[in-house]
Each structure stands twice: as structure tokens, then as C-alpha cells.
């Protein structure tokens, strides 16, 4: 590394054998060569005037430059992008004639979609990894090249890459960037690592099928997923997290715990088993208890309504591709994708005064939305789900207080489940309804409520609903993953479309303001998150089966049933294992089912009207009278947050 001064500017020339990095930085006194050298050892890209570029980018004296290292999010993204190219190069070496689709980076990794003459599977990944390591050891410079549209299409034809040609035809402009590493060339905007040797900690994860451009009419490609990190330690930590995630997968645990299932006769439509229904209903009752405390009323609206209603609401214009329709007796109906329009009809039935506002109307409504089969994912992405929906009708004067009350309720609910969360304010999307004035008032009101509540938030430009801006809540689970769940949406548009008013203090009609609110969001999705957050070990009040009574032999089944009846009278969910299996087997079975309490009953317990208590985490807790245990479990079975 050479350092020379040009006035108050220090120019660094760093030669790495692959090109020269010229970095300009203003200095008031002297340049810290030691500090700069330490940073440059990990530099893989630059941000020039805020734009991410390759190290080979030609700099000018007036450019503002930031160094991008492997440890930064941008550096990781550059590395993973290069990893996808190395993987594609390895595939082409192993499977000549493969047709390349796209190979983007994703959260924590990358993938590449490839059409192969003979599909490959997870068992082929070690072979591809081995070839990738050879490419890395070859220390190939990664060089950016540019081609005209004509030359780019010629390259696609010569190399038999029809998907790349399709992309080029769809792109604007007459010049396209390609990246070369050894014999491998790929259409790409970059940037990339300067050399394949920088890629040291990577792993291919699994394969899947993916239609070209997500269209079921197009060919099915093989999607190969992988990940890469700056260090082997970071990679090992991530792979450990993946293993833990697999153990907690809600689809596996949902089957093992007997909560739900899916059938090909209803893709994306969960079948709830008895224990799953208990879990779902307990969540609903938990929310009902909190809503009663705050003065909510509850309604239920029809599952299907005439399509005229959805034209008035704007859903036919803005949401039609996500809706299901049917026709009967010459009438066209839509199955509701949202509960809102039905709630509008109910509000309009009566004359409302400012004195009764805010009116808080809750609905645990079942909605259906069309999702492509390729994106369906257990309970996390379904076509039919239940929302803990609510619509709050208020005056302009009561708006901030109404929003703040919801914010406080959200906090109580999420803390109950042990979630930390972040908050975002999503603003007007490109496709929307309403006037600029309505959107400005709605957005500023949500912003003011957040700030007055002292809540930090990020701004998500253009991410609001088509009818209004929204506050979004992103939960962090026990594995550190984030999930978008709750929303508070301010809507001045639907009240306008449905002509919803209230009689003000002046005796005249005024346009009501409406808030949409969901805290759990989709109950199906929230249950999936809970299963993985707890690893199937639900807290006592929420567990589908709270107590398992385990008679040591058939002689004590009768007393076991007596214990069961006493607990049921106290509102405890309990089962009795009446099988002839040995006690050790019964205990293991109850542990596999994640039952919080196991009560062993034998000769001594039956004689003394006691039970021997085993806890799921704490183990043997000794013998206690049945009466004492009932009182203790009643105390534990209260809904949290209502004190």
C-alpha cells in the first residue's frame, strides 16, 4: 500500500494483483495509515456517492467514497452474489448444457434457478460444493465487461442461454454488464468480489422447484439455495440456527402434537384437529378478554357477498387477483378477502352520535385470499385464515387517543408471549385510493400517535395498504427471526365510499374516521410463529392439554378419572392415559406431547387423595393434595395481562 498527499487529500493506491483501488479521503491533519491499512484488508467493494460498485470502479477527485468490508451487510450481499455465480459456474462444469435463469441474493443467502436435462436433488449438493471449492482455489479474478444489446444477444445464442436472452429483451437500454471469472460469463449488474478467493465460508442448503419467472405456464427450473458468511464461525452459527429451526418447524411439530393437517383436496386450507381448535379458540378468548376490558363489541359478517359491494369498496379494482369468485342464479358473488366492507354495512344501518364514539367493533372473521401454490407454506402462507380484526370508528378529536389505546394493547399482547418487536410506518403505495389531503392527514395522525407514545419507528415508503397508511409490527422470535404480524391502518377512504357519518355536537352529519386493527393478524400465521417460538412448549394457560394424569396400572384408572373430573370442574384441560403401558412409557409420551404437568397416581396417591406432580421442565415436584393442586392450577390458568 502506498500513501501520498495531494494538498489536504490523501490518495491511497492499493494493489492486490487484481486491479487498483484509488480511495480519496479529506484530512484536516495527517492520514492514519495504520487504521486505513487494517480496514483495507477486508474491503470487497465501494460505495461511491452512495452507490455500491466494484473495487475496479474508476474514481474521480470529487467522489464521496465509503469502503465496504466483508463484515458489513453490503459486503455480505456482494459476497453472496459472487457465491451464486461460483455455484452456477460449478453446475455448468458438472452439467454442460445447463440453462441459467436468475441467481439473486436473499436474506441470509442466495439461490440460482437452473434448467437441467436431468433434475438434481439435495444428494447432489456435495458434488457441486466440491467443484465450487476448486473454483475458489483457482483464485479467478472477477472482471466486469460490457456488451451492446446486439453482442449480448449473440452471446446468449452462442452459449445456448435462452432465459438470459429473454431478460435482455425485456430490459431497457442498449448496453449490458456481464461478469467473467475464468471460462464463466454471466449477465449481471454487480457488484462482485474482486476475486473468487475471497469466498471462504459457504454452504449449499437444499434444492426446490421454481417456475421460470414464477409463472406456472413456464418451465420448471431447479432452484439451488445456499448461504455464505464472512467467517467460518459465522457460517457454523448460522447452520446451527438452521438445525434448531428445523427442530421447531411448525409443520413437523403441528403433526406431532396433533394440531392441524393439510390435504390435497384443499390446498392452502388447514384442517384443524381437536387440540388445534382448543389452541385457536384459547387465543381468541384471550383476545376477547382484553377487548371486553376496553369496551369492544363483537360482530360476525357473511363469508360471501355480491360483487357490487367489492366494487364500492375498491377491492375489485385493487385486489381482484387475490380474490375467489362464484356465480349462482345469475348473481355474482365474491368470497371475502377482508372483513371491512361487511363492517361498513353494519355501521351504516344505524344513526350514530359523537357521544357513542369511538365505537370499537371486533370480528374474528374467516377470510380467503388466492395465493399461488408455489408460495403456500404450512400455516405461514395459506388461502383461508381467521383474523382478529377490529374497526374503530371515531371523530377527528378522538383519533389520537384511539390509536394510542391500540398501541398499548399491542404492547400488552406481544409481551404476554415474550416477543420483542419493532415498529414501522408504511406510507401511500403507487396503487391507492383517496385524495392527497386524505393520505396526508391519515399519515400525519399515525406518525403523531407513534411519536407521542415515545415509540421508535422506521419509515417504509410506499408500503401502505391501497386504502390507507399503516403501522406495522415486526415480532422477533426465540431464534431471532422477524415476522410481520400486527397492523394499525387509518382509513378515510372507505367511510367516504360508503358515506359513513355521525351526528356531531352541532347536530350536523360529519364524516367518521375509521381505524382497521389486527394484532395477532392471521391466527393461522400467528400460531405457526408461536409453535416455532416455543418449540411446541406452550405456556400453561395456552397449552391444548395442560395436564396428563398417568395411572401406574389399570387398578388406579378410576382414581385417575376422579382427578380428571376435579381438574375439569376447575376449567383445566386434562387427559387420562388409560393404556396398559408401563409408567415410564406414559411419562415419555406425555413429554413428547409437551404437556406442562404430569400427575402420577398409584396406591398411595389414591389412598391419600393426592397426586405426584412432574413438571415438563422442572421434573419431579413431589406429592401434593389434589385440592391444593387444583387451586394452584386455577391461578396459573388465568389470561395474562388482565391484572
For 342, phi then psi, to 5°, come to: -60, -40
Nearest to 379, CA basis, from 197, 283, 514, 522: 522
The pairing of strands 597-601 and 513-522 is unpaired
Assigned C-alpha cell, 321: 387477483
d(C-alpha 280, C-alpha 522), whole Å: 11
For 393, phi then psi, to 5°, come to: -100, 125
Q: How far is CA 278 from the centre of its chain?
A: 25
Residue 590's CB is within 10 A of a number of other CB atoms, namely 23
For 640, phi then psi, to 5°, come to: -70, 155
Residues with a catalytic annotation lie at: 340, 369, 387, 389, 391, 470, 516
Q: In angstroms, what is the C-alpha Rg of the chain?
A: 30
* Burial class of residue 222 (count of CB atoms within 10 Å of its CB; 0-12, 13-18, 19+): buried
d(C-alpha 291, C-alpha 360), whole Å: 9
All residues at 6 or more sequence positions from 140 whose CB lies less than 8 Å from its CB, including other chains: 181, 182, 195, 196
**Helix, strand, coil abundance in the chain, percent, nearest 5:** 35, 30, 30
**Which residue reads 387465543 in cell numbers?**
283
CA atoms within 13 A on the CB side of 28: 0
Specify the 3-state DSSP secondary structure of 488. Answer: strand
* Burial class of residue 563 (count of CB atoms within 10 Å of its CB; 0-12, 13-18, 19+): buried
125 contacts 132 by C-beta, under 8 angstroms:
no
Amino acid at each position: 500500500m502506498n500513501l501520498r498527499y495531494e494538498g489536504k487529500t490523501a490518495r491511497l493506491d492499493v494493489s492486490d494483483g487484481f486491479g487498483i483501488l484509488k480511495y480519496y479521503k479529506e484530512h484536516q491533519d495527517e492520514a492514519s495509515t495504520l487504521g486505513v491499512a487494517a480496514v483495507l484488508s477486508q474491503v470487497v467493494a465501494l460505495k461511491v456517492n452512495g452507490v455500491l460498485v466494484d473495487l475496479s470502479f474508476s474514481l474521480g477527485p470529487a467522489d464521496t467514497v465509503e469502503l465496504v468490508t466483508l463484515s458489513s451487510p453490503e459486503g455480505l450481499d456482494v459476497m453472496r452474489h459472487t457465491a451464486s455465480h461460483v455455484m452456477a459456474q460449478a453446475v455448468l462444469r458438472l452439467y454442460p448444457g445447463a440453462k441459467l435463469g436468475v441467481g439473486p441474493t436473499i436474506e441470509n443467502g442466495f439461490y440460482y434457478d437452473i434448467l437441467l436435462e436431468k433434475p438434481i436433488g439435495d444428494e447432489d449438493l456435495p458434488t457441486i460444493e466440491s467443484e465450487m471449492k476448486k473454483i475458489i482455489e483457482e483464485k479467478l479474478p472477477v472482471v466486469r465487461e460490457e456488451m451492446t444489446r446486439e453482442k449480448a444477444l449473440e452471446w446468449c445464442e452462442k452459449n445456448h442461454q435462452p432465459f438470459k436472452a429473454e431478460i435482455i429483451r425485456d430490459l431497457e437500454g442498449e448496453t449490458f454488464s456481464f461478469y467473467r471469472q475464468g471460462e464463466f460469463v454471466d449477465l449481471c449488474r454487480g457488484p462482485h468480489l474482486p476475486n473468487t478467493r475471497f469466498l471462504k465460508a459457504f454452504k449449499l442448503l437444499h434444492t426446490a422447484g421454481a417456475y421460470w419467472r414464477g409463472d406456472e405456464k413456464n418451465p420448471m427450473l431447479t432452484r439451488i439455495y445456499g448461504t455464505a458468511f464472512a467467517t467460518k464461525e459465522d457460517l457454523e452459527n448460522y447452520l446451527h440456527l438452521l438445525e434448531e429451526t428445523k427442530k421447531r418447524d411448525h409443520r413437523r411439530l403441528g403433526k406431532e402434537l396433533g394440531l392441524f393437517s393439510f390435504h390435497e383436496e384443499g390446498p392452502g386450507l388447514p384442517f384443524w384437529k381437536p387440540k388445534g381448535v382448543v389452541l385457536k379458540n384459547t387465543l381468541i378468548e384471550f383476545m376477547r378478554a382484553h377487548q371486553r376490558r376496553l369496551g369492544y363489541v363483537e360482530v360476525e359478517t357473511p363469508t360471501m357477498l355480491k360483487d357490487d359491494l367489492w366494487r364500492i369498496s375498491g377491492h375489485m379494482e385493487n385486489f381482484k387477483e387475490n380474490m375467489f369468485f362464484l356465480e349462482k342464479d345469475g348473481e355474482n358473488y365474491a368470497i371475502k378477502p377482508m372483513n371491512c366492507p361487511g363492517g361498513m354495512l353494519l355501521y351504516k344501518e344505524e344513526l350514530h352520535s359523537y357521544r357513542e364514539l369511538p365505537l370499537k367493533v371486533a370480528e374474528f372473521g374467516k377470510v380467503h385470499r388466492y395465493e399461488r401454490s408455489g408460495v403456500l407454506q404450512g400455516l405461514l402462507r395459506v388461502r383461508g385464515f381467521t383474523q382478529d380484526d377490529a374497526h374503530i370508528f371515531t371523530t377527528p378529536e378522538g383519533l389520537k387517543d384511539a390509536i394510542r389505546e391500540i398501541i398499548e394493547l399491542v404492547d400488552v399482547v406481544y409481551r404476554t408471549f415474550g416477543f420483542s418487536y419493532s415498529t414501522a410506518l408504511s406510507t401511500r403505495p403507487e396503487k391507492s385510493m383517496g385524495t392527497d389531503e386524505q393520505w396526508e392527514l391519515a399519515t400525519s395522525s399515525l406518525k403523531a400517535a407513534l411519536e407521542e407514545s415515545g415509540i421508535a419507528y422506521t419509515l417504509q415508503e410506499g408500503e401502505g395498504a391501497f386504502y390507507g397508511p399503516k403501522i406495522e409490527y415486526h415480532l422477533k422470535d426465540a431464534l431471532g427471526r422477524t415476522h410481520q404480524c400486527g397492523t394499525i391502518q387509518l382509513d378515510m377512504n372507505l367511510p367516504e365510499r360508503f358515506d359513513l357519518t355521525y351526528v356531531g355536537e352541532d347536530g350536523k352529519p360529519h364524516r367518521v374516521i375509521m381505524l382497521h386493527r389486527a394484532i395477532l393478524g392471521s391466527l393461522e400465521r400467528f400460531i405457526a410463529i408461536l409453535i416455532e417460538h416455543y418449540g411446541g412448549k406452550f405456556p400453561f394457560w395456552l397449552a391444548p392439554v395442560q395436564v396428563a394424569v398417568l395411572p401406574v396400572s389399570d387398578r388406579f384408572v378410576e382414581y385417575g378419572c376422579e382427578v380428571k373430573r376435579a381438574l375439569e370442574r376447575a376449567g383445566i384441560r386434562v387427559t387420562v392415559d388409560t393404556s396398559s403401558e408401563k409408567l415410564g412409557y406414559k411419562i415419555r409420551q406425555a413429554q413428547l406431547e409437551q404437556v406442562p404437568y404430569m400427575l402420577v397416581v398409584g396406591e398411595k396417591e389414591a389412598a391419600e387423595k393426592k397426586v405426584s406432580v412432574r413438571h415438563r421442565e422442572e421434573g419431579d415436584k413431589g406429592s401434593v393434595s389434589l385440592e391444593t393442586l387444583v387451586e394452584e392450577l386455577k391461578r396459573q390458568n388465568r389470561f395474562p395481562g388482565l391484572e
